[in-house]
Amino acid sequence: MNVLLVNCSPVRNGATAEIIKMVQAFLAGEPDIRSVCIDDYDIKYCKGCRSCHITANCVQDDDVPKLVKQYEWADIIISVSPSYWADVPGQFKAFIDRCTPWCNTHEPHAVIGGGKRGYSIALRTGPNIRECNRIIESIEHFYGHLDITPSGSLGLCSIEYKEALEDRTEEIQEFCAKIARENGLRERAG
């Protein structure tokens, strides 16, 4: 199984990146695990021209195809997103918008391959889980249009800095263990 960890935050060393490290450490030893940060890619905004509805290709030249290749490679995708005004960061939203050529609501559309499972972890600084749920819904909506099966989620409130994750390690490990069990991966002790 190929596992792709997606840091949906433009911050490479914050709490979101720390969760990516924790998940990667828990799933270590699997055939192949890759992690990417949305900020490592040049992603232009969707122009709304709808050319991709006819051609299944975008008219823009940037790194979106490179990132989509990572999704094509993966069997399991785990997206980790902080809250930016109660939703995914703008950089990740721009990527979602640009995935219209792969969207299953029009023909023709490009395909990233079937049988993929998607998981989501949302974090926010405040105490209200509703905001985490909104982020998870955005990611799962995206997964659904790419024919990635939404398979589980975890919402983490009151996480402003990565130090706050020390008290949440067990919760994150339990979520990783669930992913491992559901996909026949080796479970690793915390």
Q: pLDDT digits over 132-172, tens only?
A: 999 999 999 999 999 999 999 999 999 999 999 999 999 99
pLDDT in tens, 35-52: 999 999 999 999 999 999
Mean pLDDT to the nearest integer, 76-96: 97
Digit-coded pLDDT (tens) for 96-118: 999 999 999 988 889 999 899 99
Whole-angstrom Cα distance, residue 64 to residue 99?
Answer: 8
